Structures are given as C-alpha cells and as structure tokens.
Structure 1
Amino acid sequence: NHRWKVVYLAEQQGVEQNLDKNCTGSLYYPKQRFCLQYALKYIRTPFFILNSAYDVYQFHHILVPPSADLSGHWNHCRLNPAACNTNQTNILQGFRKDMLAALSLFFKYSKRGGMFINSCFAHCQSESQDTWLTSDSPRVHNKTIAEAVGDWYFGRRVTKEIDCAYPCDSTCHNLIG
C-alpha cells in the first residue's frame, strides 16, 4: 500500500527529523508529507519543478512494474509508447493527469515557484546537454528547460510551462530505457 511505502521510504532515508513539524503534525499519516504534493505548501524557499509527465522510472517501476505484469501485456508499450494500445494510453494519460492534479495548487498559487513539465518519456532531463539547451532540446511553448529555468531564476517572468498530452510533443527524445 502507498502509505506504507512512504513511511518506509522516509524511515530508510532517515529524513523523519527533517520534515516540517507543521506539515507532519497536520495529517493522520504524517510521514506522507515526505511526498511533494503534501509538502509543497510548507516549503518557503522558491523552487523549480522539472519533471516529465511520463517519467520512465515511475512508468517502469511504479505504474507497471514487471512483477505486476507477469504475462507481459505491457512489454511493447514499455519499450515504445507508440506501441501502447488504447487502454494503456488511457492509463498513461491518467498517470499524467494525477501528477498535474497533485501540482495544481502550486501551479495556481505559487508566485515564486517555477515549473517545466513536458510530455517526454524520460527520467532525468537536467544532467545532459542534449535535454538542457541544444538546438534539438525538448521544448514546451517553444522554450527549452534552460530557458525556462533561466527566466524563473533571473525573475524575467513567471515560468510555469506544462506540455500537452502525449503524443503531441515532437521535440521529445523519449529516453525509454
């Protein structure tokens, strides 16, 4: 169950004592505040959220882990999102929708926070030049990750970029693996 995993994760990483006391004191399952969607309103430092709506690690290990797909119905879809059937695509869209719902208050009310949520099938997008700032880097509203972060960091404009749903973004590298 999800709550048990969050408690276990918080305990294993030894972060319990570092969780915001206002945050942990306000919920029956206080260690769930380790999850971003619950902790967001307690964070006072400006921060930038960079993520893919279809995070490959989450897709492969949380949404459809091999242990839950013994018959291999998701094998082709896991390797190539274009091979997903209608039901699988709907499940992936629900995954995106749930993530955006978890970030909706931040998107609507944060005046100092920024975000770049694209529809690429990737996990980490900030460590490599090809996804950060090159001529073929992924873009949302014609902005690269570096441009969005720069606009936010230097206060040039509020930067909260959210991509359209898969398969609309042709700038993605879709780093399935």
Structure 2
Amino acid sequence: MATSSKLRSPVLPRRRLAEPFLLLLLLLLLAAVARPTAAADVVELTLLAGAQEKGAVCLDGSPPGYHLQRGFGSGEHSWLVFLEGGAWCNSIESCSRRKMGVYGSSKFMKAAEFNGILSNDQQLNSDFYNWNKVAIRYCDGASFSGDAEAQDKDGSTLHFRGLRIWEAVVDELMGKGLATAKQAILSGCSAGGLAALLHCNDFHARFPKEVSAKCLPDAGFFLDVEDLSGERHMWSVFNGTVHLQNVREVLSKDCLTKKDPTECFFPAELVKSITAPTLILNSAYDSWQIRNALAPDGSFPGQSWSSCKTDIRNCSSTQIQVFNGFRNKFVDDVEIVKDKKDWGLFIDSCFTHCQTPFNISWSSQASPVLGSKTVAEAVGDWYFERSYEVKEIDCEYPCNPTCSSQLPT
C-alpha cells in the first residue's frame, strides 16, 4: 500500500475532535491508509576475489563488485540475481570517460539500497522478501558481455571484460550457496535487463532440471528503430559497443551465421534462442528509449520535442501518434513470446523505465496494473505458476488509469 510522509489529518471542528470515539475512528482510518515506509536495506559492497588473476576487471582494471543479502526462513535456498544497468560505451572516448565514475570503476562504488524486488519488507515484496538477493554492479559498458582490451589515449589500458565479470562473479556466488538453490531468478534493469537476456541460457544451464531457474529482464527490450531524423541511433550505439568490446561469445550462434552481430545483440533476435522461461517486463512507451532512441537530442529542430520527450503529458496528438508507432513496433517484436510456453509478458503503457527496483512501481497504490495485477503480483504469479499464464499487453496511451506521474522515468 502506498505511503506518504506528507499525509495530513482531516480538519475537524474542535468540539468533534475531542470526542473519543471519533478520535479513535480517525486514528484507525490513518492507520489503514498509511503504513510507515520501511527503511531501505543498505547492503555493503563485496569486491570479487582474485579479479586481476581472472582478468575479470572493470574498465579501469579495478575489481568488480556485488551486494549480497542473505536469505532466511523459507527463502534460505532461493536466489535472486539482479544485474545493474547504466547504458553502454561504444568508443574509446566514451569508455575513457566512463572509467572515471561508478559505471567503470569500483573505486567509486559504495553500499547500495535494496528496494522493490530486492526489498526484505514482506508487505512490499511478499514473494521474494526472504530470498538471497544479489545486485551485481555494472562496470564494463557492454551489458556484461565483452571480452577485449584497448589502449586509452593516456596510454593506460581499457579493459572490456564484461563476460569474464559475469562468469567470475556467478562462480563466486555458486560457492556461496547459489549452486544449491532450489529456486532462482536472473533479473536486471535497462542495460542489466539486456544482460539478463544475454546470459539467460547460461544461468539456467547452471542448475539441475528440477530447479526452477527463470529470467526477468526489466526495461531491457531495446528496439532497432529510426529516430526522428531517420537515423538508426540505437543501431549505432550497439554497433560501436559490439565491435569495440568484442561481443560475440554470448550471441546466438544460429543468428551469427545469418546476420550481423549487432542485429544479434537486439532482444528481438535474442529471444528466439532463449530456452529458459522468461518474463519480458517493459513499458511500450519506455521513457529512456523515447528520449534516447526515438527522439535523441539533435534528431529534431530546435526545442520542438524537448517538452514532450521529458513528459508524455506535454505531447501533442501528432507526437503521441509517433510514440504509438514506437509502441506498435514494440508489440510486433514481442509477438514471438505469446506462443512460448512458460514465458510471460507485462507490457504496460506507462511513460517509465525500470519497474522492479523501485517500491512505487513494484508494489504500491501507484504501481501499474494489467490484468488486475500489479507488477509484483504479475511477476509472482508467473514465477510460481499461480495462474494459467501472465501475458498482458496494454492498450495505447493514455488508456491505463493506473499509470502514475510518480513512476520513475
């Protein structure tokens, strides 16, 4: 249930406020609508042991890190592995800048707050609150999938070792109990959601057949679309990343025999080769993609799209029609999932990006609802197979009244 620290008591006449019965009624009402917000869990950073020896390092050569919160009770042998997102670097220049911050070096990483699907608050996260939960930090710039190196302009080495980071961190986690998991989910948000797709089969193959190991990419379904100027902006970003960082090992061998590696990096191709049960969670009006793939700066004259791409409520009917074209492409690309057994879809029409790691979008009064389910309810029903199937695609914006302006964008 949503909470607010700004909730105020109704203004009542003094004479009535003094009446004990009404006062008690008021207190009960406030208790019903406002549960105190649980403090986010702060989980310390763990650096990968022997990172240099394994060649599993961040862009600057520092060891990668992760945050591990141990499960308890009935969740002692259940694991959720969450891959952090944060876009990509597709040139020496962009990767050089990236290594000077948290997305390229563990030198800048600190403890992390666990919210949403990572929360241990049972009321907020009833299905997964007591699982072992791991957030793997993102410091390679290629969705945990590259394997190369290059010389920076200052003469130092840029390490493109995302694939080795993935393998080494998961191997370390296997030794910390992941190997004996009875239930497991690989998830991630944005570039981490794409990484969850890239590594889904590998993750699933690490467990015996009787283990329920599934994948949950959140906001990781990136489209190859033309921007407002007719350029394929996302293709350009992915093309630079794939070739600079040598992203091939994680791509479908069948796809690579027929198509360019860059095309094989897009989710529309990735899902064709994934055999593990997977739920695609995404907005069909993904706010990051609209801002950076459909209407990136420089793709339109002046400020004509600036207000619209900042907030969809500012868009004209003509601009909404352009967004609907993006949505239609999205729906076409996920069409293949409808016929995949054990797979799921939760494609809402809210202007948002990443919905699992935030309390408000995961499970609150402001959480998007599809098929009478919030995000958390849909994910739980899909994972535990509590309903026949969870395959929901929302109607066109602005049809869904549960889409809130409070959602993260």
The two structures share one fold, judged by TM-score above 0.5: yes
Task: Write the deviation string for residues 117-163 of structure 1: whole angstroms up to 9, x where unpaired.
Answer: 10100111111111111233111122101111111101122111111
Q: Displacement, 1:20?
A: 1.9
Task: Write the deviation string for residues 38-83 of structure 1: whole angstroms up to 9, x where unpaired.
Answer: 1211111111111011111111111111221241111221233222
> Quick one: which of 256, 267, 278 aligns to 1:24?
256
Partner of 2:282: 51
Matches within 5 A, 1:132-143: 132-143=362-373
Q: What amino acid is the match of 2:262? A: K
| Runs of at least 5 residues in structure 1 that lack an aligned partner in the other structure | none
> Quick one: which of 384, 395, 401 aligns to 1:154?
384
SS in 2 for 1:68: coil
Partner of 1:170: 401
Partner of 1:106: 337
Going from structure 1 to structure 2, the CA distance change for 1:4 and 1:69 (only over 3 Å counts) comes to closer
**What TM-score, normalized by structure 1, do the two folds share?**
0.90
Q: Runs of at least 4 residues of structure 1 off by over 6 A?
A: none
Conserved 8 A contact 1:24-1:31? no
C-alpha RMSD of the superposition: 1.8
Give me the whole-angstrom Cα distance separating, in 2, the residues matched to 1:99 and 1:34.
Answer: 16
Give me the whole-angstrom Cα distance separating, in 1, the residues matched to 2:248 and 2:272.
Answer: 18
Task: Write the deviation string for residues 85-104 of structure 1: whole angstroms up to 9, x where unpaired.
Answer: 12111000000000010111
SS in 1 for 2:345: strand
More RCO (CA 8 Å, sep 6+): 1
SS in 2 for 1:7: helix
Q: Displacement, 1:13?
A: 4.7
Give me the whole-angstrom Cα distance separating, in 2, the residues matched to 1:176 and 1:88.
Answer: 21
Instruction: Give the structure with the larger helix fraction.
Output: 1
Matches within 5 A, 1:2-151: 2=232, 3-27=235-259, 29-107=260-338, 109-151=339-381
Going from structure 1 to structure 2, the CA distance change for 1:176 and 1:79 (only over 3 Å counts) comes to farther
Conserved 8 A contact 2:251-2:261? no
Identity %: 36
Give me the whole-angstrom Cα distance separating, in 2, the residues matched to 1:116 and 1:154.
Answer: 16
Instruction: Give the structure with the larger strand fraction.
Output: 2
Q: Displacement, 1:12?
A: 4.1
Q: Displacement, 1:4?
A: 4.4
Conserved 8 A contact 1:24-1:30? yes
Q: What amino acid is the match of 1:120? A: C
Going from structure 1 to structure 2, the CA distance change for 1:7 and 1:79 (only over 3 Å counts) comes to closer
Give me the whole-angstrom Cα distance separating, in 1, the residues matched to 2:244 and 2:374.
Answer: 35
More divergent stretch after superposition (14-23 vs 113-122): 14-23
